[in-house]
Structure 1
Amino acid sequence: MRGLWREFAGLVLPVGCAGCGRPRTELCEECRRSLCAGGGQTAGRRRGPRRVRPSPAPPGLPRVYAAAAYADAVRAVLLAHKERGALALAAPLGGALAGAVRGLQAGPGPLLLIPVPSARSAVAGRGHDPVRRIALAAARELRRGGSGARVLAALRQRRAVIDQAGLGARQRQLNLAGALEIAGACRLLDGGRVVLVDDLMTTGASLAEASRAVRAAGGRVTGAAVVAASPGAFEINWN
């Protein structure tokens, strides 16, 4: 019900650009382009999805591609979608995520996008599941390009975890270790190219744990794709 109200409110109330505040548009063209900037805006490199890796990288982290650096307009747009319920932003965010998936060059065969799950309490508090919503938009965009992509919401939390905010890289790894599992969809993983998807990568702990859970269920993780990653995680900053 809360999600439906937010969608209705977005149609009838005046809005400003979620990225820069420009009036009478939910997302201006400049901020829309920033969602596909790769590390270009921060790192001075070409636009488009880029390989990212946190430092230190957690054990078991697969290849990860990001559409943009988590800064400025990109940060504002992601927060508007996740925390303020600007649900119409799922489409451009999904388009950016689809670009990151393409960057993996995963090869032929069925493509399964598996979202990293949020805690049930977080989903209930927000009134929607932002990562799943973005993943569904990404799958639609990929299908328009001829890919057989679909979303498989197969991961779930098997035990409670504490809020990750304020935790360091090692603390996040310990907090998430063994926290995820595949729920009742193991047979669907056979032969599919699994791409883990999330809205944001910081330390990589969530993606590493998701990869472990999929592999434990017999799945083959091709890589991971995110809308945004910390600016320091882009290739140009690797040692």
Structure 2
Amino acid sequence: MRALWRELTDLVLPVGCAGCGRPRARGPVCPSCRSSLAGTAPRRVWPSPVPPGLPVVYGAAAYADEVRAVLLAHKERGALRLAQPLGGVLADTVRAAVRHRATGRGGAAVAYGAGRAGAGPRPLALVPVPSARRAVAGRGHDPVRRMALAAAGELRRSGRAARVLAVLRQRRAVADQAGLTAGQRLANLSGALEAVPGSGRLLEGTEVVLVDDLMTTGASLVEASRAVAAAAGRRPVAAVVAVRSRR
């Protein structure tokens, strides 16, 4: 109900751009902030330091200024219409991550696509990195899953079979990640996720792409990759909208 109320409010109340606050002619973000959100072409990204077990990750933008404002408005303030433009950016980033796999760049890429000579592209399985249940309840929506659904729709419109498979779940409670060092985040999340029963069958024959809104230390992607690999027998690639710089 809370999510529905937010959606209705966003439709009927005049609001400014979620990125810069300036009046916008149409859509949830103005053209300038939409351009900032898209950033440069999606590229391979790493946190610093790189945690052991990090999958290949592609990202679209730096987590700063208008991009940060848009992501926070969607995630924490329930600006649900932002899922569509964010999903469009995520779809482009998924395409880049899958191209990495298809062209054989990186050690795991060739093995993943082996034996597919002459076959068409595998359907994409977008696997959202799950948030804590209490966080989803507090926000009234699951921002990463909502963005993933928008991205899957964009991919299907471009002719690529894609669906969202929310096959990961928390198996134990974790501490709030805010303020933790990179090493502490890894320890906090180690063994925290598991794939739901039957996940291996659901993921069979697909190109698995982990999706998230933001990468900070990479700890969440390491743990999600481990859980997917345990269920599917292979490591996924990953796509995120933004990457936070670490000092």
CA distance in 2, matches of 1:206, 1:127: 21
- Corresponding residue of 1:43: none
- Corresponding residue of 1:32: 34
- Corresponding residue of 1:226: 240
CA distance in 1, matches of 2:173, 2:179: 17
Higher mean C-alpha displacement, 91-100 vs 24-33: 24-33
Letter of the 1:177 partner, please give it.
S
What do residues 152-175 of structure 1 show as CA deviations (whole Å, max 9, x unaligned)?
000000000011011110000000
CA distance in 2, matches of 1:111, 1:92: 20
Letter of the 1:72 partner, please give it.
D
Give TM-score scaled by structure 1 length.
Answer: 0.91
- Corresponding residue of 1:236: none
Letter of the 1:230 partner, please give it.
R
- Corresponding residue of 2:5: 5
Asked if 1:81 corresponds to 2:74, the answer is yes
Q: How many residues align?
A: 224
Contact 2:216/2:246 (8 A) holds in 1: no
Out of 65, 81, 94, the position equivalent to 1:72 is 65
Moved over 6 A (4+): none
**Deviation of 1:219 (Å):** 4.0
CA distance in 1, matches of 2:93, 2:85: 13
Contact 2:63/2:242 (8 A) holds in 1: yes
Letter of the 2:50 partner, please give it.
A
Q: What CA RMSD, in Å, does the superposition of the two structures yield over aligned residues?
A: 1.3
Out of 188, 193, 208, the position equivalent to 2:207 is 193
Q: 1:76-225 maps to which residues of 2 (within 5 A)? A: 76-104=69-97, 105=99, 106-107=101-102, 108-184=121-197, 185-225=199-239
What do residues 52-86 of structure 1 show as CA deviations (whole Å, max 9, x unaligned)?
00111111111100111111000000000000000
Could you tell me which runs of 5 or more consecutive residues in structure 2 were left unpaired when the two chains were aligned.
103-120
CA distance in 2, matches of 1:48, 1:28: 20
SS at match of 1:67: strand
Contact 1:189/1:219 (8 A) holds in 2: no
Contact 1:116/1:207 (8 A) holds in 2: yes
**Deviation of 1:11 (Å):** 1.3
**Deviation of 1:218 (Å):** 2.5
**Deviation of 1:146 (Å):** 1.0
Contact 1:18/1:80 (8 A) holds in 2: yes
Letter of the 2:176 partner, please give it.
D
Could you tell me which runs of 5 or more consecutive residues in structure 1 were left unpaired when the two chains were aligned.
38-46, 234-239
Q: 1:45-56 maps to which residues of 2 (within 5 A)? A: 47-56=40-49
**Deviation of 1:24 (Å):** 4.1
CA distance in 2, matches of 1:191, 1:97: 22
SS at match of 1:113: strand
CA distance in 1, matches of 2:219, 2:212: 12
Letter of the 1:32 partner, please give it.
R
Contact 1:158/1:181 (8 A) holds in 2: yes
Higher mean C-alpha displacement, 59-68 vs 128-137: 59-68
CA distance in 2, matches of 1:92, 1:85: 14
CA distance in 2, matches of 1:149, 1:219: 20
